[in-house]
Amino acid sequence: MSGTNNQSLTVNESAENYLETILMLSMKLPVVRSVDIANELGFKKPSVSIAMKNLRQKEHITVTDAGFIYLTESGRAIAEAVYEKHEFLTNWLQDIGVDAAIASEDACKIEHVISQTSFEAIKEYVKKCTCK
């Protein structure tokens, strides 16, 4: 892989998924805990605990003594970038006729491998096409 300034390259796909999940849960819950993440993703709590430890060490999250998980500035930036890609790609795929469930699943795969440059180009192209 060539050296780019793409922030999502600083974490792996699994970390991106966890950060995105924390962001999404924080939009609908007063606080986010490991058990909430485990339930949302269908993972066992020990797996989530290991992931949270790794994200904490990379300073993408903070965890209070009560076990509440919060995104740091860097964690939020990564989560929001992944979430934006997911939402945009899901909607775009649905707009071109892909079933909602398949669109969401495919968007989840694409969001982790597409460069920010290509994503921005697709957004601009779609914006031009829909403004006609």
CA 12, CA 17: separation in Å to the nearest integer?
9
The pLDDT score that the predictor gives to residue 4 is 37
pTM of the model: 0.83
Q: Could you list the pLDDT tens digit for every one of the 132 residues in the chain? A: 333 334 434 578 899 999 999 999 999 999 999 999 999 999 999 999 999 999 999 999 999 999 999 999 999 999 999 999 999 999 999 999 999 999 999 999 999 899 889 999 999 998 888 765
Residue ranges and CATH numbers for the domains of the chain are: 11-72 (1.10.10.10), 78-130 (1.10.60.10)
* pLDDT given for residue 129 in this prediction: 83
Backbone phi and psi for residue 48, each to the nearest 5 degrees, phi listed first: -65, -40
Q: What is the residue type of 14?
A: S
Contacts of 99 (CB under 8 A, 6+ apart): none
**DSSP state letter for 90:** H
